Amino acid sequence: MAGEVSALSQLVDSVESMKVDEKSKQQNAAAAADDASDNSSVQITCFSDIVNDVTLHFQIIRLRNQIYAWIGCDSAKLGRVYAAATTRPHNTVSVTSIIGGVSDNTGSGIARRIVLKTGLNVILACNIPKDSLMLEANAEKKLVEKLIDLGYTRPKAS
């Protein structure tokens, strides 16, 4: 058990210490646009936005058939982590909490809706304060806008 806690703490520390300079962001955005149809490469996008005087930080990592997204509110803490994927037989979306308490579901709805919009499995780390519904809605809106810009969402059915 102690080994698992140590490994988890090392993972959290390494995620918190990730930094991407502006040049890398521009290169990743250009590569994502060029390779949107190529599922074999990893594409990393980082950006920040200020919503209602609160700074939101985002990181999107596009893997093969999966998206990892992190939303940070005023800090670089990992927060709660959710996994979401479509499940059979009716293609509904299931969401589970990987890290964090079950009493606080901030981010689970975002993860569910991202799966519906992209058709991909989603791992979402969310560091938004509990009971901040407007902040959560604005963060989801910004994340979806960026996913659309990057071409990660599935086309709308006609």
Per the model's pLDDT, the better-predicted residue between 127 and 102 turns out to be 127
- The Cα angle at residue 148 between residues 28 and 17, in degrees rounded to 5: 40
Q: Pick the range with the lowest mean pLDDT from 14-28, 32-46, 80-94, 100-114.
A: 14-28
Mean pLDDT computed over every residue of the chain: 79
| Whether the model pTM is above 0.85 | no
Domains of the chain: 2-150 (3.30.230.90)
Q: What is the pLDDT of residue 66?
A: 93
Measured CA to CA, the distance from residue 98 to residue 22 in angstroms comes to 31
pLDDT tops 80 at residue 103: no
Q: What is the pLDDT of residue 140?
A: 93
Q: What is the pLDDT of residue 2?
A: 61
**Could you tell me the two tokens for 15?**
């995620």
Q: What is the pLDDT of residue 22?
A: 43
Output the 3-class SS for 46-67. EEEEEECCEEEEEEEEEECCEE
pLDDT-based confidence at 102, cuts 50/70/90? low
For the residues 39-58, what does the mean pLDDT come to? 87
For the residues 52-62, what does the mean pLDDT come to? 92
Q: What is the pLDDT of residue 83?
A: 94
Torsion angle, CA of 115/146/69/153, rounded to 10 degrees?
20
Measured CA to CA, the distance from residue 11 to residue 95 in angstroms comes to 22
How many CB atoms neighbour CB 124 within 10 A? 27
Q: What is the pLDDT of residue 110?
A: 92
pLDDT-based confidence at 101, cuts 50/70/90? low
Per the model's pLDDT, the better-predicted residue between 102 and 133 turns out to be 133
For the residues 58-77, what does the mean pLDDT come to? 91
